[in-house]
Amino acid sequence: MIPPSTKEIMDIGDSKYAVVVAVARRARVLSENKKNDEDYRLSSMVTQALNEVVSGRVKIEF
């Protein structure tokens, strides 16, 4: 999978900080739900959270 470009990410929110915070919060929720899985990896949770934010499944609230 090709990671989203910085331009795509900046189209989502007004600031880089807001996007980073939204992705981090979503990744934390995902990691809490999957901590007991054998194939748990935090990096995969961050990637999944970024994909959800970029695709619009998770909205950034200001």
In this model, does residue 1 exceed pLDDT 70? no
62 belongs to a structural domain: no
Of the candidates 20, 39, 16, 42, which has an alpha carbon nearest to the alpha carbon of residue 30?
Answer: 42
**Does residue 49 lie in a domain region?**
yes
Nearest Cα to Cα of residue 4 among 41, 47, 58: 47
Residue 62 pLDDT: 64
The domain containing residue 16 runs over which residues? 6-55
* Residue 21: inside a domain: yes
Tokens for 17? 């900080």
pLDDT digits (tens, 9 = 90+) for 4-60: 777 777 788 778 888 888 889 999 998 888 777 766 677 788 888 888 988 888 877
pLDDT at 5: 77
Residue 28 lies in a domain: yes
In total, how many domains does the chain have? 1
